[in-house]
Amino acid sequence: MADSNPKKFEDEMADLEAIVTKIDSGELSLEESIAAFERGVALVRSLNQKLDEIERRVEVLIRDSRGELKRSPYQGELGSSAKSEDPEEDDTF
Amino acid sequence: MAGQLEFQLKTAERRVALSVSQLVRLVRETLELHLDQCWVVGEVSNTRLAPSGHLYFTLKDARAAINVVMFSSAVRRMRFRLDDGIQVVVRGRVNLYEHRGTLQFYAEEVEPRGFGALQLAYEQLKQRLAREGLFDAARKRTLPILPRRIGIVTALGGAALRDLLRVLLDRYPNLHIIIRPALVQGPSAPLEIASALDDLNADGNAEVIIVGRGGGSLEDLWAFNDETVARAICRSRIPVISAVGHEIDYSIADFVADVRAPTPTAAAQIAVPNKADLRGRLFEKQSALVNGVERQTSALRHQLVRLESRLPEPRILLRQLRQRLDTAWEELVEAANSRVSRHRVLLREFATRTRISPGIVAAGRLRVAHSATRLAQAMSARAGSCRVTLERNIAWLNETNLRAPVSQARSRLSRLFNQLETAWRSRLHQQRLTLAGQAGRLDAVSPLRVLHRGYALVTKTRDGETVVDAAQVELGDELDIRLGRGRLYARTLGRNLS
């Protein structure tokens, strides 16, 4: 239930954008650029992981006879192309 | 006719079966007999104009409804548009449409009667909730960019659910979807939708909830104009997208929801990003990182090559010096020779004019020759020492590698490249340092730690310049002193420059 990631996707994305802008500005020394580059690459990797960390599940939430909330797998149809797995599953980083 | 009716009723009592046609005709005749032309008041809904020009609609009040047909000739006489929801008075007669066995009202004339009651209820609720601030933009939450668990409130087996699942999973194949089924039309729908929203909140997994249904008539969508639903959307801690399948009209739920989507398909597109797009965006960022660093390093590399080309080649320099020495030597020898021969000529002339004895002349000639030899020796010695100095310099130049700084810079650059590559690879295969470790490192190098040992950071209040030399400060200057804890603000009373 609790989010396993201390930092949210959008926050990391914003950090990454800032790093790219900084490196592009040409204001950093070579050493600073390389440090920024390392941080950026780590962020790309973490963001890519975040894209994949959730398992595909379709569930139905109902109340059982005692009135308790219960989740069970959805038995219905999932639509046409939805059954195929993500073709771009290969991790780029 | 009455006689026939009584006869047939008797037949029914004797349990002789009637055909469907006989029964329907019996009902029609009964209606015609007892219900002549009349006026009816009701609310219009489900208006449909057939290609034939006949107008079909439903007339209803709180408890009942009847299908109405108005033939094209009567439609042409109407002076206003028969919109859904308006209250009308209709003149006509009721009769049975025998082909289907359904009751129909054949309208000949329609008069408007202000707004319909449902419409009125909608307007009243809308105004009340708006006054309470339920529609305020400030109340609306932003949707997360990457919700990985989506809650859905709609009817199981409805077109809306099919569309939602298809589009959601197309865009983001590894989603966790939690469906909380609810009836979306009929009298129990508002309560079902509201408790479904509450249940998804109690479950707490969903990061966004989509509540809605596919298109339908105004009555079909009425549950989404109910106050119970509006309140449930309002109290949901999870952001809610409404998707009531009606492109034009807004339901009350649309006004309260954090985001309104015109259809379930649109709601799915709003709720989750396209995973392939996100991947592409990350790849672009990564390329921008690599390109940025590469651009910078190649600029430095070019600068290095340019500087290197401006360094003169030492060997060429030496060759030029040697040449100059050779020329100078030749000139010197030539000058000496011409001087010796001039002296010889002078000596001969002198001897001729003065008729000095040949012995004296020979002695003089000997002296001249002797001087010439000494001159040649001296010049040669001088040239030799010049040559020695030159050779020493050449040796020094040969020993000293003028290109050493260049190659040092080059190796530093390639070291950085190696570091870059190592860093890259280690990021590929290793766990990232923990945040705690980084924080520790940061703390260790922090200037604040030095301050805690009793040192102070002094800056000029005027321009924030750090003071490291007493000469930077004039008498009376205000100073800002940062200590391990807190700051002091001081004025310069005196200074000692030593």
What is the residue type of B143? Answer: L
In a domain, B289, yes or no: no
**ipTM for this model:** 0.75
| Residue at which a domain ends, from B58, B83, B114 | B114
pLDDT of B120: 64
**Nearest chain B alpha carbon to A41:** B286
Q: Is residue B300 assigned to a domain?
A: no
Domain boundary, last residue among B273, B304, B325: B273
* Domain coordinates in residue numbering, chain A: 9-77
- Residue B252's nearest CA partner among B154, B135, B161 is B135
Taking CA–CA distances from A11, the nearest residue in chain B reads: B145
Question: Distance between CA B465 and CA B471 in Å, rounded?
Answer: 13
pLDDT confidence of residue A52: 87
How is residue A69 annotated by DSSP? Answer: E
Q: Give the closest residue to B167 by CA, choosing from B217, B204, B210.
A: B210
* CA distances in angstroms from B442 to A41, B392, B448, listed in the order given: 20, 54, 11
What per-residue confidence (pLDDT) applies to B71? 93
- Chain B residues touching residue A82 (CB < 8 angstroms): 165-166, 169-170, 173
State residue B4's pLDDT score: 61
- Give the residue from B285, B290, B441, B445 with the most A CB atoms within 10 Å of its CB, the best one to mutate: B285
Size of interface A-B (CB pairs under 8 A): 161
Looking at the structure, tell me whether residues B178 and B264 fall in a common domain.
yes
For position B247, what pLDDT does the model report? 62
B56 and B138 together in one domain: no
B402, B437, B466: which is the final residue of a domain?
B402
Q: What's the CATH code of the domain at B47? A: 2.40.50.140
Quick check: A35 contacting B, CB < 8 Å? no
Residue pair B234/B255 in contact by the 8 Å Cβ criterion: no
- pTM of model > 0.80: no
Alpha-carbon distance of B153 to B195, in angstroms, equals: 10
B242 with B253: CB under 8 angstroms?
Answer: yes
Of B135, B127, B118, B128, nearest to B253 by C-alpha is B135
Statement to judge: residues B268 and B145 lie in one domain: yes
CA distance A65 to chain B (A): 15
Note whether B200 and B148 are same-domain residues: yes
Question: Any idea what the CATH number is for the domain that residue B240 is in?
Answer: 3.40.50.10550
| Tokens of residue B109, six digits | 């004339």
Residue B73 within any structural domain of the chain: yes
B109 and B127 in a common domain: no
- Provide the pLDDT confidence category of residue A82 given band limits of 50, 70 and 90: very low
One domain for residues B365 and B386? yes
Alpha-carbon distance A32 to B297, whole Å? 12
**Smallest Cα distance from B23 to chain A, Å:** 44
**What range does the domain containing B472 cover?**
445-491
Residues in B closer than 8 angstroms to A88, CB to CB, are 275-276, 279
> Cβ contact (<8 Å) for A54 and B200?
no
Q: Are residues B181 and B249 in the same domain?
A: yes
Kindly state whether residue B283 falls inside one of the protein's structural domains. no
Asked if the structure places residue B498 within a domain, the reply is: no
In sequence order, which ranges of B446-484 are alpha helices (DSSP H)?
447-452
The pLDDT value recorded for residue B121 is 74
Cα separation values, B429 from A16, B53, B195, B422, Å? 20, 74, 48, 11
Residues of chain B with pLDDT under 50: 1, 428-436
Residue A3 has a pLDDT of: 46
How many domains is chain B partitioned into structurally?
4
Residue B360 falls within a domain, yes or no?
yes
Check whether residue B230 and residue B338 sit in a common domain. Answer: no
CA dihedral B473, B478, B479, B485 (to 10 degrees): 170
B30, B51: one domain: yes
pLDDT value of position B213: 92
**Residue B189 and residue B223 in contact, taking contact as beta carbons nearer than 8 Å:** yes
Contact call for A50 and B282, based on CB within 8 A:
no
Give CA–CA dist B178/A50, Å, rounded. Answer: 20
Q: Looking at the structure, do residues B261 and B333 belong to the same domain, yes or no?
A: no
Contact by Cβ (8 Å): B211, B183: no
Query: Does B341 share its domain with B388?
Result: yes
A64–B contact, CB cutoff 8 A: no
Instruction: Please give the Cα distance from B394 to B387 (Å, whole number).
Output: 10
Contact B163, B268 (CB under 8 A): yes
- Smallest CA-to-CA distance from B253 within B234, B238, B267, B268 is with B234
Number of neighbours of residue A86 by Cβ within 10 angstroms: 15
Whether residue B244 sits in one domain with residue B158: yes
Shortest CA distance from B420: residue in chain A:
A34
B282 located within any domain: no
Beta strands B149-154 and B208-213, pairing class: parallel
Residue B355 confidence (pLDDT): 67
